[in-house]
């Protein structure tokens, strides 16, 4: 490229020269296409990021759970690489989130019970008589004066666990043992405190069998003294979403794609969701070779594993005008499960009956087109709300994505389509310490990163087929999530199986 020597035009020329330099560096006239972007996706580059994430986990005892050094290192790594391209406006969206973790032990009458706990229970240690609540403890009147200073034994059912514990707390209980109303053990959440019905106490939960036996002997008149020990860590933890938006492209028509950057505490999360994290990062590093018609925004969400906290925070803080500019959202959570399948979120609802906002059907078809051209059988995944697309659906934004499955069991039919073993989980290391590099199906990692590239390139060129149907009603609904977020009443739903 030539520099102009004209003095009079110097300023303008320098500006132009800069633009031209940018143009050649960024591919000014070289609009991204599905084919060209896919061609630039190389497995060794993606895996380099996966190895970095594993290194990050070593900073905090093998985890990248939100609020840890390991997770922070991942967020920093992503931002630094993206900043270096000069192609994006990047942002760390930081906020505090109240995190609770705990374990309980309970013994009584010489027996050590298998004990779990309930989120938001208080820390404490108490040795005291175990006293039965009347009925299921859903009414303040279910707790007589004998509860005071003692351990209340309460059956699960009829109302939320938090209400029972709050009533017991008001009656002066020093601790609560919750027992299951069906065979087997359980854990749950009390919901955020404070609540009007009363204070929480230390809590343990035991199985239906153990609880029934204990309740029967107390009801039979036996005096039983128990010891409950609840170890709890509860604190505000700061962490960040990483958001990167192309400087180029129409900023009123934003194509958004996201993955979650945190893992569970149990392991490094190299598939969940190191796979989506690494794949999207590599895409974001290749996109600068091209020009885009519509802006593209990448997001790496924090605290997905404790209740989609980062993506909920993000959508809840969009103004209606900002919401309106996001044309669609694409989610990539667990895209390299070692015994996985190729699942597309059911945008049109034809398989599972729950569709996304208009346009979600088009997104599903866009992914189907990719798998068809790659000659790979496509399966379908329901909109369960278990990952970061959930808050976008709630905000009225068309959404979709692909994944390879989590704790679900592979069927014979699926094994015939995709190989792998029927009768075992898509990811046998789901949410475990063994979710490391060896847990990746590298072929799936490459295939799905290209699938993401196909969808991003397609929509970066045109949003035909994606209507903008949102209005104030819908956006207001999303901002009401904010109060829920602060209360964090359902963040630990994952005790059963609510999210990936």
- Peptide bond between residue 273 and the one before it cis (omega within 30 degrees of 0): yes
Interacting span for ligand NAG (CB under 6 A) from 82-90, 216-224, 232-240, 292-300? 232-240
346 binds Zn ion per the rule CB under 5 A: no
Query: How far apart, in whole angstroms, are the C-alpha atoms of residue 192 and residue 208?
Result: 25
29 binds ligand NAG per the rule CB under 6 A: no
388 binds Zn ion per the rule CB under 5 A: no
Query: How far apart, in whole angstroms, are the C-alpha atoms of residue 456 and residue 36?
Result: 12
80 binds ligand NAG per the rule CB under 6 A: no
103 binds ligand NAG per the rule CB under 6 A: no
Q: How crowded is the C-beta side of 53, counted as CA atoms within 13 Å?
A: 32
Residue 354 binding partner per list ligand NAG, Zn ion, none, with a CB distance cut-off of 5 to 8 Å that depends on partner kind: none
Residue 198 binding partner per list ligand NAG, Zn ion, none, with a CB distance cut-off of 5 to 8 Å that depends on partner kind: none
Among 286, 323, 378, 478, binds ligand NAG (CB under 6 A): 378
Work out how close the CB of 66 gets to ligand NAG at its nearest, in angstroms, rounded to a whole number.
Answer: 9
74 binds ligand NAG per the rule CB under 6 A: no
Per rule CB under 6 A, count of chain residues that contact ligand NAG: 17
Residue 500 binding partner per list Zn ion, ligand NAG, none, with a CB distance cut-off of 5 to 8 Å that depends on partner kind: Zn ion
Question: Do 309 and 391 touch, CB atoms closer than 8 A?
Answer: no
Among 89, 227, 380, 442, binds ligand NAG (CB under 6 A): 380
Among 238, 322, 421, 476, binds ligand NAG (CB under 6 A): 238
210 binds Zn ion per the rule CB under 5 A: no
Question: Do 401 and 331 touch, CB atoms closer than 8 A?
Answer: yes
Residue 331 binding partner per list ligand NAG, Zn ion, none, with a CB distance cut-off of 5 to 8 Å that depends on partner kind: none
Interacting span for ligand NAG (CB under 6 A) from 15-23, 226-234, 290-298, 372-380? 372-380
Q: Which of 282, 304, 305, 364 is catalytic?
A: 304
Other Cβ atoms less than 10 A from the Cβ of 497: the count is 12
Residue 333 binding partner per list ligand NAG, Zn ion, none, with a CB distance cut-off of 5 to 8 Å that depends on partner kind: Zn ion
CB-neighbour burial class of residue 219 (10 A; exposed 0-12, middle 13-18, buried 19+): exposed
Residues 6+ apart with CB under 8 A from 182: 208
Closer by beta carbon to ligand NAG, 290 or else 418: 418
Token digits of residue 370: 């990719």
Question: Do 302 and 261 touch, CB atoms closer than 8 A?
Answer: yes
412 binds ligand NAG per the rule CB under 6 A: no
How is 10-37 classified by DSSP, letter by letter?
HHHHHHHHHHHHHHHHHTTT-B--HHHH
Per-residue contact flags (x/-) with Zn ion for residues 248 to 287, judged by CB under 5 A: ------------------------xx--------------
Query: How far apart, in whole angstroms, are the C-alpha atoms of residue 365 and residue 370?
Result: 9
Question: Do 427 and 337 touch, CB atoms closer than 8 A?
Answer: yes
Interacting span for ligand NAG (CB under 6 A) from 102-110, 201-209, 450-458, 470-478? 470-478
Query: How far apart, in whole angstroms, are the C-alpha atoms of residue 363 and residue 358?
Result: 10
Task: Give residue for tokens 């938001």.
Answer: 120
Among 69, 289, 293, 325, binds ligand NAG (CB under 6 A): 69
Q: Annotated catalytic, 304?
A: yes
333 binds Zn ion per the rule CB under 5 A: yes
Residues 6+ apart with CB under 8 A from 399: 328, 329, 330, 331, 345, 347, 356, 357, 360, 363, 389, 392, 393
Interacting span for ligand NAG (CB under 6 A) from 110-118, 169-177, 453-461, 466-474? 466-474
| Beta-bridge partner residues of 118 | 188
Query: How far apart, in whole angstroms, are the C-alpha atoms of residue 246 and residue 252?
Result: 12
Which residues form the interface with Zn ion (CB under 5 A)?
A: 272-273, 333, 500
Which residues form the interface with ligand NAG (CB under 6 A)?
A: 61-62, 68-69, 72, 94, 238-240, 368, 372, 378-380, 471, 473-474
Residues annotated catalytic, as ranges = 304
């Amino acid at each position: 490229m030539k520099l102009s020597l004209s003095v009079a035009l110097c300023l303008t020329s320098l500006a132009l020269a800069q633009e031209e330099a940018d143009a050649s560096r960024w591919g000014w006239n070289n609009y991204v296409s599905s084919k060209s972007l896919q061609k630039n996706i190389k497995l060794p580059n993606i895996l380099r990021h996966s190895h970095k994430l594993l290194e990050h986990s070593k900073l905090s005892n093998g985890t990248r759970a939100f609020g840890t050094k390991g997770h922070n290192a991942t967020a920093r790594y992503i931002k630094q690489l993206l900043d270096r391209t000069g192609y994006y406006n990047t942002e760390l969206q930081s906020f505090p989130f109240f995190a609770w973790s705990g374990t309980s032990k309970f013994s009584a009458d010489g027996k050590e019970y298998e004990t779990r706990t309930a989120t938001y229970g208080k820390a404490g240690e108490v040795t005291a008589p175990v006293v039965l609540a009347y009925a299921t403890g859903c009414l303040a009147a279910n707790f007589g004066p004998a509860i005071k200073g003692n351990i209340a034994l309460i059956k699960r059912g009829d109302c939320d666990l938090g209400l029972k514990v709050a009533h017991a707390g008001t009656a002066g209980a020093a601790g609560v043992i919750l027992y299951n109303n069906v065979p087997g053990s359980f854990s749950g959440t009390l919901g955020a405190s404070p609540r009007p019905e009363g204070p929480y106490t230390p809590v343990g939960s035991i199985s239906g069998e153990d609880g029934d036996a204990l309740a029967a002997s107390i009801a039979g008149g036996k005096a039983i003294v128990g010891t409950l020990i609840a170890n709890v860590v509860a604190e505000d933890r700061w962490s960040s979403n990483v958001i990167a938006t192309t400087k180029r492209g129409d900023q009123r028509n934003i194509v958004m794609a996201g993955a979650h950057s945190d893992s569970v505490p149990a392991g490094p999360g190299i598939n969940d969701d190191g796979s989506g994290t690494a794949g999207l990062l590599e895409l974001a590093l290749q996109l600068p070779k091209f020009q885009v018609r519509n802006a593209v925004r990448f997001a790496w969400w924090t605290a997905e594993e404790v209740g989609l906290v980062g993506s909920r925070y993000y959508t809840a803080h969009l103004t209606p005008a900002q919401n309106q500019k996001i044309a669609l959202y694409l989610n990539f959570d667990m895209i390299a499960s070692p015994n996985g399948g190729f699942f597309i979120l059911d945008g049109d609802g034809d398989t599972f009956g729950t569709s996304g906002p208009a346009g979600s059907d088009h997104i599903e078809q866009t992914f189907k087109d990719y798998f068809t051209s790659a000659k790979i059988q496509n399966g379908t995944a329901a909109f369960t709300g278990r990952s970061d697309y959930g808050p976008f659906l709630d905000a009225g934004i068309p959404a979709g994505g692909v994944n390879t499955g989590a704790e679900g069991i592979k069927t014979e039919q699926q094994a015939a389509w995709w190989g792998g073993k029927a009768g075992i989980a898509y990811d046998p290391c789901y949410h475990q310490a063994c979710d490391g590099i060896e847990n990746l199906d590298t072929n799936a990692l490459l295939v799905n990163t290209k699938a993401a590239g196909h969808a991003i390139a397609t929509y970066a060129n045109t949003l035909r087929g994606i209507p903008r149907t949102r209005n104030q009603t819908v956006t207001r609904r999303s901002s009401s999530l904010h109060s829920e977020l602060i209360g964090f009443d359902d963040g630990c739903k994952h005790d059963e199986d609510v999210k990936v």
